Amino acid sequence: MRNAPLTPPTPPGRRPVVRLVLTGAVAAAVVASAVAIPSYGSRGGTLLARYDATKAAVLESLPHVDPPGTPPHDHNNPLTKNSLSRAGETGPETQDPTTAAEKAASAAYVAAERRTADPTLTTVPVMQPRLLHPQDRYAMANGCYSLTPGSEPLYFKPTKLGTYLLYDAHRRFVTAAGGKADAPSPATEWTARPAGDGLRLTSGSTVLKQGGRTTFVPTRTSGCTAYPEAQIGITGDPVAGTTPFQEVRGYVDAHTHGMAFEFLGGDVHCGKPWDKYGAPYALVDCPDHTYTQGYGSVLETFLSGRPSHDPVGWPTFKDWPAPESLTHEGTYWRWLERSWRGGQRIFVNLLVENNQLCQIYPLHKNAEYAKCDDMESIHRQARDMYQMQNYIDAQFGGPGKGFYRIVTNPFQARKVINAGKMAVIMGIETSVPFGCTSNPAATQPCDPASIDRQLSEVHRWGVRQMELVNKFDNALSGVAGDNGETGAIVNQANFKETGSYWDMRHCEPADGESHDKDQYAAPAISPEQQDALFGAIGELNGLTGVAGPVYPPPDHCNSRGLTTLGEDTIRGLAERHMIFDPDHMSVAARNSSLDQIEAMKYPGVVSSHSWSTPDAYPRIYRAGGFITPYAGDSTGFVDKWRAHVGWADPRYYFGIGYGADMNGLGAQGDPRGADVPNPVTYPFTGMEGVTVHRQHAGKRVYDINVDGVAQYGLYPDWIQDLRKVADAAHPGDGAAIEEDMSRGAEAYLQMWERAEGIAPDSCRNPDLRRSVTAVQRLLHPGMGTRAVMEAVGQPYTRLGRHYTFCATSGGRGVRMQVTFSPAGEVTGVRRLT
């Protein structure tokens, strides 16, 4: 196939709209012409004068890489992407509550786990075989066909299930009017439906006619021009299980925001994870960025530290996506596909919103988005997830055939992963869940009945993982807060939401305890600096004249902890077998929540992106939970992995994942550089033998050594970089970290099974062992795998068609084996030792 065009045509019938952010007054002007682009003079105004006065300090506090030769200094990074905890600080002697002996014992246990037998794996084709004639109306997806003998070759690009663009060799589209168009539109979309022995193609009320025919049997051919799309750069079929119910292998990301293009009013985030017309239409910059040549992107400038950027996305991608470009799309579906092809098997997509930042930002997609209602926004994102699942199914040849599979329980997820696909779990991270603001002037009810009703509602959507807070105190919990200039900004928004600032008080944590994010304290900054900073933010969000708080000297602890409504919410999550994430909570709230979890003996707990504190991590492991540290840089993640190995609880299967936090305004991993002694070399062998090449997207070629984690498709490369970094410090650690990461999906599923009420395995937990006689009495032929686990707990091993458990006989431990049919029904139970 010939190369596809790299520059998208302007969609017909769409008049360009130019929206400019006038930052001095923080207002939006709409300009109805793409030709008369205004010139820009000096940036005036009180706000920007103050902004410029503090810009160096602000940018220094943000994630960045210093130019060569920069003297060593403290970045004071508020995102703390490489810290063990992003939620608060502890002294070096007190941040880890475990003893050296305990850490050594945990590390020895994890090392022993790595030596246990791995499951036998196989591979599955990426797509079903492409036959000479399509087997159904979906099977033409991304294939080259002629409709009649000798007719021109047409590339069938799906726009949704069963509907296609017919793209010719000259990069034009077949239209309903009987001609050709240069750009896709509804008039170029054709829906295939069965008709007699063939298919009929219709666009609206128009039936396609060719050679006097209206019914066709498409025939596979050659000579097509492929529709423009990002490439994958990975060869080899996806890994799968030999049975649907065996132990799985694969990486897990427990924290990313794949639908963030909808949040903050729908116009903060530039690009989206899919578009029915593909990459040239999904991967475009925001209008206010484009028509100011990258100079009108105030939020992007603030977050990245760059005064401007090249607004062109597809096909050049000169400046975005990039690790520091936080307002641009990073989870385009083909990049997700690359991560799946590279070994990822669990993807937790968190529905996200922040109503106050949405209200502050002057641009909104429409009146509905301008409401800035947290729950409406996350419901919109939940619907988007199902739409994208259908779109990906269309690209792979039909319903259920795509790699992106939304799951609602661990048993379904295990089948999906063993089928070689990626289990997608829906979660929530929002500042005001269920409308539960702590503002006393709020009119929306927040009471146990309202929370219970809305928990049931989001459960019906498919939500299975949830945080109680994000950036603001709410009626459920106090928040950890942010520090530095970012903290001052968010604290002002907290005031706007709740009617009060964070109640940060001086505290002196005991040994092994943590505290929340330190705030500006007298005399940490001068009154003039404080006035400039708070005055600028006050002017930005309409709080001019409102004095900001001056906190006592650090350490700081938020006095607001877990409320009774928060306790009710955690109880409601557990009743629905939903996974609780204590990240972003104040230390007081998180400690109380873990007290509650322990009292309930509920293992469904995950810390997904390092917004818990080191004193909490061992408690989460002891509860039977799972932790995915924030991904960040490969160097920093290796250090976090070593710390978490020292907290592993020998009563539970160990594996680890990462929380990418992509699209969540969270900085991604920076490159180590191509000149380091141990760079990633391409191609390399990835999980279970796939070959990973540099990825191509349009004209751009990505290399982890120089680009870092510019977009989601580079996470397989980042994992390879982890191997390099770990091995450089301790030879052999590269294989160890890869093994622990590949066990992450199984560890997450086992945590989720326990949340469903399945008891832990009886081999790691001797007190749970039953007698051989009792096991034989409880298990009988025909039982399914879930029924077996409900009867005797989780198996110690799940290899192929065999599960093993431990039992007792004559006062000593023995091993039992349960054998299943290929359909997952018990065929036999026997004693092994």
Q: Is 105 exposed, middle or buried (0-12, 13-18, 19+ CB in 10 A)?
A: middle
The answer on pLDDT for 403 being more than 60 is yes
For the segment 119-146, the average pLDDT, to the nearest whole number, is 97
The answer on pLDDT for 56 being more than 70 is no
Q: What tens digit of pLDDT does each residue of 675-689 get?
A: 999 999 999 999 989
The answer on pLDDT for 621 being more than 80 is yes
Q: What tens digit of pLDDT does each residue of 232-256 get?
A: 999 999 999 999 999 999 999 999 9
Q: Is 706 exposed, middle or buried (0-12, 13-18, 19+ CB in 10 A)?
A: middle
The answer on pLDDT for 397 being more than 70 is yes
625-663: b (≥16 Cβ within 10 Å) or e: bbbbbbbbbbbbbbbbbbbbbbbbbebbbbbbbbbbbbb
In the three-class reduction of DSSP (H, G, I as helix; E, B as strand; rest coil), residue 798 is classed as strand
- Residue 487 is predicted with a pLDDT of 58
Confidence of residue 515 (pLDDT cuts 50, 70, 90): low
- Residue 371 is predicted with a pLDDT of 87
Confidence of residue 326 (pLDDT cuts 50, 70, 90): confident
CA nearest neighbour of 173 among 191, 185, 163, 159: 185
Q: With contact defined as beta carbons under 8 Å apart, do 662 and 330 qualify?
A: yes
183 Cα distance to chain centroid:
32
Q: Kind and range of the H or E element at 830? A: strand 826-831
The answer on pLDDT for 373 being more than 50 is yes
- Residue 440 is predicted with a pLDDT of 76
Confidence of residue 499 (pLDDT cuts 50, 70, 90): low
In the three-class reduction of DSSP (H, G, I as helix; E, B as strand; rest coil), residue 338 is classed as helix
Q: With contact defined as beta carbons under 8 Å apart, do 558 and 472 qualify?
A: no
d(CA 757, CA 603): 9
CA nearest neighbour of 510 among 204, 166, 95, 130: 95
- What backbone phi and psi angles, to 5 degrees, belong to 296? -95, 10
CA nearest neighbour of 81 among 658, 585, 626, 657: 658
Residues with Cβ within 8 Å of 533's Cβ and at least 6 positions away in sequence, in order, are 50, 54, 485, 488, 525
- Residue 266 is predicted with a pLDDT of 85
- Residue 114 is predicted with a pLDDT of 97
Q: Which residue has the higher pLDDT, 9 or 444?
A: 444
Task: Tell me how far CA of residue 30 lies from CA of 19, 27, 292, 363, in angstroms.
Answer: 5, 10, 12, 10
* DSSP at 201: E
Q: With contact defined as beta carbons under 8 Å apart, do 282 and 328 qualify?
A: no
For the segment 407-431, the average pLDDT, to the nearest whole number, is 97
The answer on pLDDT for 510 being more than 70 is no
d(CA 421, CA 761): 26
**Residue type at 174?**
V
Q: With contact defined as beta carbons under 8 Å apart, do 754 and 794 qualify?
A: yes
d(CA 495, CA 297): 26
Percent of the chain with pLDDT over 70: 80
In the three-class reduction of DSSP (H, G, I as helix; E, B as strand; rest coil), residue 198 is classed as strand
The answer on pLDDT for 766 being more than 80 is yes
Q: Which residue has the higher pLDDT, 371 or 110?
A: 110
For the segment 215-238, the average pLDDT, to the nearest whole number, is 97
- Residue 212 is predicted with a pLDDT of 86
d(CA 560, CA 592): 11
d(CA 251, CA 248): 10
pLDDT-wise least confident of 89-98, 271-280, 692-701? 89-98
Task: Tell me how far CA of residue 9 lies from CA of 154, 168, 169, 228, in angstroms.
Answer: 19, 15, 16, 12
- Residue 508 is predicted with a pLDDT of 63
Average pLDDT across the chain, whole number: 84
C-alpha angle with apex 274: 272 to 275, nearest 5 degrees?
100
Q: Which residue has the higher pLDDT, 295 or 23?
A: 295
- Residue 692 is predicted with a pLDDT of 98
For the segment 569-577, the average pLDDT, to the nearest whole number, is 98
**Residue type at 260?**
A
For the segment 432-453, the average pLDDT, to the nearest whole number, is 88
Q: With contact defined as beta carbons under 8 Å apart, do 470 and 353 qualify?
A: no
d(CA 621, CA 183): 54
Confidence of residue 727 (pLDDT cuts 50, 70, 90): very high
In the three-class reduction of DSSP (H, G, I as helix; E, B as strand; rest coil), residue 351 is classed as strand
Q: What tens digit of pLDDT does each residue of 771-825 get?
A: 999 999 999 999 999 999 999 999 999 999 999 999 999 989 999 999 999 999 9
Residues with Cβ within 8 Å of 427's Cβ and at least 6 positions away in sequence, in order, are 255, 348, 349, 350, 351, 463, 464, 465, 466, 467, 579, 581, 608
The answer on pLDDT for 749 being more than 80 is yes
- Residue 29 is predicted with a pLDDT of 29
The answer on pLDDT for 194 being more than 90 is yes
For the segment 588-597, the average pLDDT, to the nearest whole number, is 95
In the three-class reduction of DSSP (H, G, I as helix; E, B as strand; rest coil), residue 459 is classed as helix
**Residue type at 626?**
F
Largest CA distance in the chain: 89
- Residue 481 is predicted with a pLDDT of 65
Percent of the chain with pLDDT over 90: 66
Confidence of residue 554 (pLDDT cuts 50, 70, 90): low
Residues with Cβ within 8 Å of 627's Cβ and at least 6 positions away in sequence, in order, are 606, 607, 617, 620, 621, 644, 656
The answer on pLDDT for 3 being more than 50 is no
The answer on pLDDT for 544 being more than 80 is no
Task: Tell me how far CA of residue 299 lies from CA of 512, 561, 593, 661, in angstroms.
Answer: 38, 31, 34, 18
Which residue, chain included where needed, has tokens 């940018």? 59
Long-range contacts of 96-101 (CB under 8 A, 24+ apart): 96/512, 96/614, 96/643, 96/646, 97/512, 97/614, 97/615, 97/618, 98/618, 98/646, 98/647
